[in-house]
Structure formats: structure tokens, C-alpha cells
């Protein structure tokens, strides 16, 4: 029988009492298919340098007992960091291979590879069966279990370029709360579960025993039968809580296909057999554009309606007791937002999964470094590369990008020239990869005296090969996009593809300098940044020689007078002499620099305001000061008079003086970056976190603490309170005038000649003297 289906997961299951690979998939109507491959054998490699084949067989025979019959050993040639080695490939049943690698790790220790990669992942890579792709399967022994068609694999072939099927999605959110701080699954019942299937919101509220509402969730899942279950903080919070609640009943959470229970797999991720479990929190955590990692930010980014009021989880229990309706309305907004956000992100998720080979429900759980690594592993084995082990190494830093001191003040017509993908281009051009770096300058080597390493030119590195392929594939897609309608399904998918390829290419340099990388190269990363510094220095020299005035520069960009002829000459020189591509990134009609690097504000040609590095973009400044800085710098760049700017400032001061500011705009947000006991100095957010901890809240790394400064004497940390407990009568309004608003405005006005003294006297209510009459 032949099935044309879309694969979304591979897992280890069983067939006739033996472990087998299960391939979960759906057809274009969303019907489920499970294809079983009983023939895949797990394996690992052991380097022949460390053991003879006779000794190897001897150990395995002695240690494995009956399992030895399930093992096969072959001599193969593979590469390790580009160098050919003879390996013994030990393959067989999953259990036998696992046991064999355990035994050899103990007896031999070194030289064992790929025993640390899950068989289902090896299957994806070796068979080239990429998740989130379409395939034609030939199967036999077809049966139906529940509503899943099950067949045994005979062969398959990929089908290129089909749009994704419509997936059924169920979003889930819960109401957890406790009178005593952090809800504890040991004592605190689940207060409510809310789901959304794209049409109906269902809310199940506690009425007696919470077992009943968890049952209702399970019923919902089997009724909707979703391909995807999506939530916010599912893996770290919701699934562990629900499974813990059910432990009392000695049963699991039954939300998988074919009666499967959700179970914890690697790294705290929960696996729901046969369904894709997506936690959007893991997506926002990885992206710096989301400053506070909230669902509201994500929803705003996806251009969705925001809730009328957001309720902090610290207040869930309060609302549950006092104003339940409001809480439920908010959580209903959440499930809809989660659902719709997933719908907006699904192309990205599926494309990322398809390209990296990481199944979709795990792709956000993997860090961006690991995502890149899976891609390298996949491409590497096509070149016969064995995947190296992650080894323990000493952490070492190396010099990074070059940053110029800016020329402070207001400048007109400044162009930003930057290098197109500077680091990836350097890595390709100079062949930089862990295996191409050498210490000696002998032979076919391009040697860099300044850092004492060279790069071989007689072999092509794996990383540059991969980068070239990424860039080539992306260029192909981008040229195809030109002829497509941007609103079409095909365009959107291809656009998602080219974006993922770009992200992967841009990750490779950082990956190579990451101590946890399998393809780590301190020397390689050092050479990349060295060449980056050299490239930018040479361009600066050339720009000066051409007569361009340089205002600023950072890593791969220089800010110069917008003289198009000279700039074109410079760009041509870069291409001819350095062999790299530079371009005009943007042009500022006006740009303001302070004395500081990495901080400026500009007005672009199209009239938009861009603020970089200044208080306005930092979450550890209160919104009020941030907004004031934005308004005043915008006016400044748009040519407002000094008087106008001072008037604006005076207004901002006045509203604080009169306590007319919404206290939500006074919250300062800071992240907890380590266990509370490891802090060496007192700080407001730490003190507030400690008090929350006393109230029973578990304070974990990565949490954000929002606080407000109250009146009183002594250091700030003694006067900070959690924002949910702030009272306008106790707020230290002076702190907000002198330590938030004033510095943010001094920063942008002092470079244009408005002194700190002037501003300070306005802040004090003096200067012009009108304040006393209002």
C-alpha cells in the first residue's frame, strides 16, 4: 500500500516486542498514519586507535551475555575533524547497543562517538527523513489502531515542495494559585483549565475535585484530536503540575495518541506521543526582542489584540477569590492568543524543524547553538564526518569586534555602511573551520602572525562548506521570491525558509566560539574576529583617504558623511581589494551621539526615529523615563527649539511632581540571573525577590522582578517593593524625578549644549519659576 503523508515526528516505539522506529505522520486531510520501521539498527563508532577489533569483540562477548547475538561489528572509514580514521562501527538492537556503549565507555573510555545521539535522531539524519516534510511511503501489514492507520515500512521517497497540511491545534492554559504563594501540586488543586480549538473556548473550573477538570482536559484532547498542543510554559510549569497532581491517583496525563501519556524526556521537555507539544515560552526566551518574555509581548509582536487588563500570576489567587470573572476573561484571552500566535509561527516552526532535522516539538527546546549543531551533524555525515563528542574545556575569551569612539553631538546626513554577513563571509573566504586551523606556517597555509595561527588551504573546511551551501540555498530562494505574489502561501513558506537559512548562517561564528560546541574552535573564532577587525580598520583607512569623515563604527559598520560618490568608491574598493561586500545600510538625516559607544539616536530618511542602546530601549529603566526620552529626542532630531525641549521636560517633571503618573509606568524590571544565595551585593530586585520568596514564591533564574522605589532613608534596596504592593502615597516621586527622568534626559540633551545644571534646576522646580503658580 502507498501513503502520501507529512512526517512530524520520529520516536522509539516497538514492533513485535522489539524496539522499532515509529514515524508519526498525517495526510492532507489530517488523518493519522504511523509507519513502523523495525529494521533500523542503532550504532556507535569506536576509533581503532584505542582498541583492536579482536579485543573489542572479546569485551562485548564477555559483557553483553545474550545481547551479544544482537550486535554486529564492522570496520569502516570515516572522518573525524576532516581526518580519515578507521573506526569499528558497533550496531544492533537499541538495548544491546546501549549496553555495549556503556561497557566500552567504562573499559576503554576514549574514542567512542555518536553513542550520545538518540537513535530516532540518527534515523532522521541517516535516512534523510526530515521532519515536517512530505514523503511517499510503501507499507505492508496495514492495520488501524484507534483512528491511526498503522503500517510497516518497505520504502519511502521524498516529495518536494508541497505546502504544509492544515494542522489541528488545541491551545491550553491553566489557572493555578494558592493562598500561600507559589501553588504546590502537593496541596493546591488546579483551579481551572481553559482550552481553545480555533472555534470554541472551553473553561473547566474547579468544582469539588480537580481530578474532574483534568479528566475534562483529556476528554477535550481526545474529542479535538489535535495534531498540535500549544501553550505558554507548558514544559516548565503546566505539564509538571498536572502530572504531579495525577501521581496521587497513580496515573499519568492521557493526552497522547493511542492511549499515550505525557512523559518527561530530555532537558525537562515533555513528550506527548503522537502529538506535537509546543511551548511558546521557549520561543520568546530565545529572542532578545522580547524584553520580559511575556505572552502579551509575543501577542503584540504578532499584531494581535492585547487584553484589556493583564493579570500577574502573583495575583491569580486574589482574583480567583475576589473577581473570578475578570481572571477567567483574561485566561480566555490567553488561550486565544496562544492559539493565534502558534498559527502565525507555524511556518517558521515547521521550516526550522525541516531544515535542522529536529522534530517540531523539540525544536524550540533546543538552544540556537544546538539547532545549528544538528544541522552541521546532518550535513557532516554526508561528507563522512563522525560527530565529535562534547568535551570539557577550559573557558577562554578572545578579542572580539572593533568599536570606534563616536564623535559626540548632532550630525546631519550620515550614512551607515556595513558589511554583508561579515563573519560568515570571512569564514568562507578564509576557509575557517575547526579542522583547518594549524599552528605552523609550513605547507599550504595562510598564516596570521598577529595571532599565531594559520589556516590550511589544501583542504576545504566543513563549516565553510556548510556556510556556502546555506548562502547558496538562501540566494536561490530569494531569487524565486521575486517572481511570487507576497500574499501567496508559497511565498510565505519560502520566505520562512530563507529566514531560517540566514539565522543558521549567522549562528555559525558564535557556535564555533562556544565552549559547549562539538565543533568548537577557539583559534578559529579568534581568527574570524581578528580578520573582522582588520577588515574594518582597512576600510576606515580607505574612507579617510577618500576624504570621508568618520563619525562612528561598530564591528562591521562605519558611519560616514553621506557623500554618495565617495561611498560608492569605497564600496568598490572593498569589493576589489578585500573581496568582501559592503553596502549602504541606511541613511540618517540627523543623528545624535553622546561620548559613549553603542548608544545613539537618529532620524532616518523615511522619517522614523531609531534609538540604540539608550535608556529608552532598556527594560531596567521605568517606562515613564523611557517614554520621556523618546519624546524629547524625537523633538530634538526633528528640529525643535531649545525652549520647546525644556518645556517638554518641564511637563514630564510636573506630572511626576503632581503624582499624576500611572504607577505601572514607574516599574523597573530586572532579571534574576542566579540563585538568590549567590548574590554578593544587595540590590533592589534581589531584596524584593527575597521578600517574595518569604511569601512562598519560588524564585528561579530567568524570572523578572518588577519593583517600585518608596520614600524613606537608606539605600534603594531597603526601599524597593514589588510593584503589586506599590501605593502612590508611599512612592518616592523624587527618586523618579532625579534618578530616572533627569539622567535619561541629561544624556540626550547635554551633547547639544543643554547643561545638566539647567535641567537639574528645572527638575527642582526652579529656573523659570512658573511651576510655583500651577
Partner DNA sequence: TATAGGCATACGATAGGCAGGGC
Partner DNA sequence: TCCCTGCCTATCGTATGCCT
Q: How far is the CB of 27 from DNA (least distance, A)?
A: 34
Given a contact cutoff of 8 angstroms between Cβ atoms, the answer to whether 592 and 616 are in contact is: no
Helices (H), 174-269: 210-224, 239-247
Q: Which candidate, 125, 141, 335, places its Cα nearest to that of 229?
A: 335
CA angle 395, 282, 683 (to 5 degrees): 65
**46 versus 611: smaller Cβ distance to DNA:** 611
Shortest distance in whole angstroms from residue 130 CB to DNA: 22
Give the residue with the Cβ less far from DNA, 83 or 681: 681
Residue closer to DNA (CB basis): 2 or 620? 620
CB closer to DNA out of 335 and 746: 746
Query: By C-beta, is 280 or 327 nearer to DNA?
Result: 280
Please identify, using beta-carbon distances, which residue of 128 and 294 lies nearer to DNA: 294
161 contacts: CB under 8 Å, gap ≥ 6: none
Q: How far is the CB of 444 from DNA (least distance, A)?
A: 28
Reference 448, options 535, 556, 346; nearest CA is 535
Q: Residue 357 Cβ, how far from DNA at the closest point, in Å?
A: 17
Q: Report, in Å, the least distance between residue 283 CB and DNA.
A: 13
Q: Interhelix angle for 368-382 vs 462-481, to 10°?
A: 100
Residue with smaller CB distance to DNA, 74 or 405: 405
Q: Angle 522-546/489-512 helices, nearest 10 degrees?
A: 110
Binding site for DNA (CB under 7 A): 236, 267-268, 286, 288, 291, 367-370, 396-401, 403, 418, 507, 509-511, 513-516, 525, 529, 554-557, 594-599, 612-613, 617-620, 669-674, 678-686, 704, 715-717, 739, 743, 747
CB of residue 616 vs DNA: minimum separation in angstroms? 9
Q: Toward DNA, which CB reaches closer, 24 or 314?
A: 314
Between 525 and 754, CB nearer to DNA: 525
Q: For DNA, give the closer residue by CB, 13 or 553.
A: 553
Nearer to DNA, 86 or 515 (CB): 515
Nearer to DNA, 462 or 512 (CB): 512
CB closer to DNA, 121 vs 291: 291
Name the minimum Å distance from CB 52 to DNA. 34
Q: How far is the CB of 553 from DNA (least distance, A)?
A: 9
CA distance 209 to 190: 9
- CB of residue 398 vs DNA: minimum separation in angstroms? 5
Q: How far apart are the C-alpha atoms of 718 and 20, rounded to whole Å? A: 60
Distance, in Å, from the CA atom of 566 to the CA atom of 571, rounded to the nearest integer, reads 9
Distance, in Å, from the CA atom of 71 to the CA atom of 57, rounded to the nearest integer, reads 10
Give the three cell numbers for residue 609.
Answer: 526615529
C-alpha cell at 728: 502612590
Grid coordinates of 454: 594559520
Min separation Cβ 312 and DNA, Å? 17
| Least distance CB 86 / DNA (angstroms) | 32
Burial of 726 (0-12, 13-18, 19+ CB in 10 A): buried
In the bound state with DNA, the residue whose beta carbon lies nearer, of 195 and 535, is 535
Q: How far is the CB of 729 from DNA (least distance, A)?
A: 21
DSSP secondary structure code for residue 134 in this structure = E
Task: Name which of 53 and 699 has its Cβ closer to DNA.
Answer: 699
What DSSP designation does 554 have? B
- Nearest distance, CB of residue 367 and DNA, angstroms: 3
Tell me how far CA of residue 645 lies from CA of 233, 592, 604, 627, 757, in angstroms.
44, 15, 20, 14, 15
Which CA distances in Å does 9 have to 32, 124, 362?
12, 9, 10
Least distance (Å) between residue 726 CB and DNA = 17
Q: Which residue has the cell 508559497?
A: 490
497 and 477 in contact (C-beta within 8 Å)?
yes
- Nearer to DNA among residue 226 and residue 380 (C-beta): 380
Q: Which is nearer to DNA, 281 or 336 (CB)?
A: 281
Min CB(622)–DNA separation in Å: 11
Q: Report the relative pairing of strands 228-231 and 276-279 from DSSP bridges.
A: parallel
Q: Are 398 and 528 in contact (CB under 8 A)?
A: no
Q: Spell out the alpha helix ranges (H) of 21-151.
A: 53-64, 94-107, 119-127
Contacts 24+ apart (CB under 8 A), 209-217: 210/245, 211/245, 211/246, 211/249, 214/190, 214/242, 214/245, 214/246, 214/253, 217/172, 217/193, 217/242, 217/255
Q: What is the chain's alpha carbon radius of gyration, rounded to the nearest angstrom?
A: 30
CB of 644 to DNA, least distance (A): 24
What's the min distance (Å) between Cβ of 245 and DNA? 19
| φ, ψ for residue 434, nearest 5 deg | -55, -35
Cβ-based neighbour number of residue 756 at 10 Å: 15
Q: How far is CA 206 from the centre of its chain?
A: 35
3-state SS class at 305: coil
For 584-618, b/e burial (b = at least 16 CB within 10 A) is: eebbbbbbbbbeeeebbbbbbeeeebebeebbbbe
Amino acid at each position: 500500500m502507498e501513503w502520501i503523508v507529512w512526517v512530524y515526528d520520529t520516536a522509539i516505539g516497538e514492533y513485535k516486542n522489539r524496539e522499532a522506529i515509529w514515524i508519526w505522520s498525517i495526510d492532507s486531510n489530517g488523518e493519522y498514519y504511523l509507519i513502523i520501521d523495525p529494521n533500523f539498527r542503532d550504532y556507535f563508532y569506536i576509533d581503532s586507535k584505542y582498541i583492536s577489533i579482536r579485543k573489542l569483540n572479546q569485551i562485548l562477548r564477555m559483557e553483553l551475555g545474550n545481547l551479544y547475538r544482537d550486535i554486529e561489528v564492522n570496520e569502516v572509514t570515516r572522518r573525524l575533524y576532516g581526518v580519515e580514521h578507521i573506526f569499528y562501527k558497533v550496531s544492533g538492537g537499541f538495548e544491546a547497543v546501549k549496553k555495549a556503549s556503556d561497557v566500552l565507555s567504562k573499559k576503554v573510555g576514549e574514542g567512542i562517538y555518536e553513542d550520545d545521539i538518540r537513535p530516532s535522531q540518527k534515523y532522521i539524519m541517516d535516512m534523510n527523513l526530515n521532519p515536517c516534510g512530505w514523503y511517499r511511503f510503501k507499507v505492508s501489514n496495514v492495520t488501524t489502531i484507534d483512528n491511526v492507520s498503522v503500517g510497516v515500512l518497505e520504502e519511502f521517497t521524498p516529495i518536494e515542495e508541497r505546502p504544509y497540511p492544515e494542522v489541528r491545534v488545541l491551545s491550553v492554559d491553566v489557572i493555578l494559585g494558592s493562598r500561600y504563594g507559589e501553588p504546590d501540586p502537593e496541596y493546591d488543586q488546579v483551579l481551572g483549565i481553559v482550552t481553545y480549538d480555533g472555534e470554541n473556548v472551553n473553561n473547566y473550573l474547579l468544582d469539588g475535585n480537580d481530578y474532574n477538570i483534568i479528566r475534562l482536559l483529556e476528554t477535550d484532547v481526545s474529542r479535538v484530536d489535535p495534531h498540535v498542543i500549544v501553550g505558554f510554559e507548558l514544559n516548565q510549569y503546566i505539564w509538571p503540575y498536572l502530572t504531579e497532581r495525577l501521581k496521587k491517583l497513580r496515573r499519568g496525563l492521557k493526552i497522547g495518541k493511542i492511549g499515550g501519556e505525557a512523559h518527561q524526556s530530555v532537558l525537562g521537555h515533555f513528550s506527548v506521543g503522537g502529538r506535537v507539544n509546543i511551548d511558546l515560552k521557549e520561543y520568546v526566551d530565545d529572542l532578545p526582542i522580547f524584553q520580559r518574555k511575556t505572552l502579551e509581548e509575543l501577542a503584540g509582536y504578532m499584531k494581535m489584540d492585547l487584553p484589556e487588563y493583564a493579570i500577574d500570576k502573583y495575583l491569580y489567587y486574589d482574583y480567583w477569590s475576589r473577581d473570578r470573572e475578570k481572571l477567567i476573561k483574561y485566561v480566555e484571552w490567553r488561550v486565544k492568543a496562544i492559539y493565534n500566535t502558534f498559527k502565525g509561527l507555524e511556518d517558521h516552526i515547521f521550516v526550522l524543524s525541516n531544515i535542522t532535522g529536529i522534530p517540531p516539538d523539540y525544536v524550540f527546546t533546543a538552544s540556537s547553538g544546538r539547532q545549528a549543531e544538528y544541522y552541521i551533524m546532518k550535513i557532516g555525515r554526508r561528507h563522512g564526518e563522525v560527530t565529535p563528542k562534547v568535551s570539557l574545556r577550559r573557558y577562554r575569551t578572545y578579542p572580539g569586534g572593533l568599536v570606534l569612539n563616536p564623535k559626540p553631538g548632532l550630525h546631519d546626513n550620515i550614512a551607515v555602511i556595513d558589511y554583508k554577513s561579515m563573519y560568515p563571509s570571512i569564514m568562507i573566504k578564509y576557509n575557517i573551520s575547526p579542522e583547518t586551523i594549524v599552528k605552523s606556517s609550513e605547507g599550504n597555509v595562510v598564516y596570521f602572525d598577529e595571532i599565531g595561527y594559520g589556516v590550511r588551504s589544501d583542504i576545504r573546511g566543513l563549516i565553510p562548506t556548510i556556510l556556502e551551501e546555506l548562502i547558496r540555498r538562501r540566494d536561490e530562494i530569494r531569487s524565486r521570491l521575486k517572481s511570487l505574489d507576497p500574499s501567496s502561501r508559497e511565498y510565505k513558506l519560502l520566505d520562512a525558509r530563507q529566514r531560517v537559512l540566514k539565522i543558521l548562517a549567522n549562528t555559525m561564528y558564535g557556535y564555533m566560539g562556544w565552549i559547549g560546541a562539538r565543533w568548537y574552535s577557539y583559534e578559529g573564532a579568534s581568527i574570524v574576529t581578528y580578520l573582522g577587525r582588520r577588515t574594518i580598520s582597512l576600510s576606515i583607512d580607505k574612507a579617510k583617504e577618500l576624504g570621508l569623515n568618520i563619525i562612528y563604527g561598530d564591528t562591521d559598520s562605519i558611519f560616514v558623511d553621506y557623500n554618495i560618490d565617495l561611498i560608492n568608491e569605497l564600496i568598490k574598493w572593498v569589493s576589489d581589494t578585500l573581496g568582501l561586500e559592503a553596502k549602504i545600510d541606511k541613511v540618517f538625516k540627523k543623528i545624535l551621539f553622546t561620548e559613549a559607544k553603542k548608544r545613539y539616536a537618529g532620524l532616518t530618511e523615511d522619517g522614523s526615529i531609531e534609538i540604540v542602546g539608550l535608556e529608552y530601549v532598556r527594560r531596567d529603566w521605568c517606562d515613564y523615563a523611557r517614554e520621556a526620552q523618546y519624546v524629547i529626542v524625537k523633538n530634538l532630531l526633528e528640529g525643535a527649539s531649545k525652549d520647546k525641549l525644556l518645556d517638554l521636560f518641564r511637563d514630564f517633571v510636573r506630572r511626576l511632581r503632581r503624582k499624576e503618573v500611572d504607577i505601572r509606568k514607574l516599574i523597573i524590571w530586572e532579571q534574576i540571573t542566579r540563585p538568590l544565595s549567590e548574590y554578593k551585593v544587595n540590590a533592589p530586585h534581589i531584596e524584593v525577590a527575597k521578600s517574595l520568596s518569604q511569601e512562598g514564591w519560588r524564585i528561579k533564574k530567568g524570572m523578572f522582578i518588577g519593583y517600585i522605589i518608596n520614600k524613606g532613608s537608606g539605600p534603594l534596596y531597603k526601599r524597593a517593593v514589588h510593584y503589586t504592593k506599590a501605593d502612590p502615597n508611599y512612592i518616592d516621586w523624587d527618586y523618579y524625578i532625579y534618578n530616572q527622568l533627569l539622567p535619561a534626559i541629561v544624556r540626550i540633551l547635554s551633547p547639544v549644549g543643554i547643561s545638566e545644571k539647567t535641567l537639574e534646576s528645572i527638575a527642582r522646580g526652579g529656573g523659570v519659576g512658573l511651576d510655583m503658580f500651577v
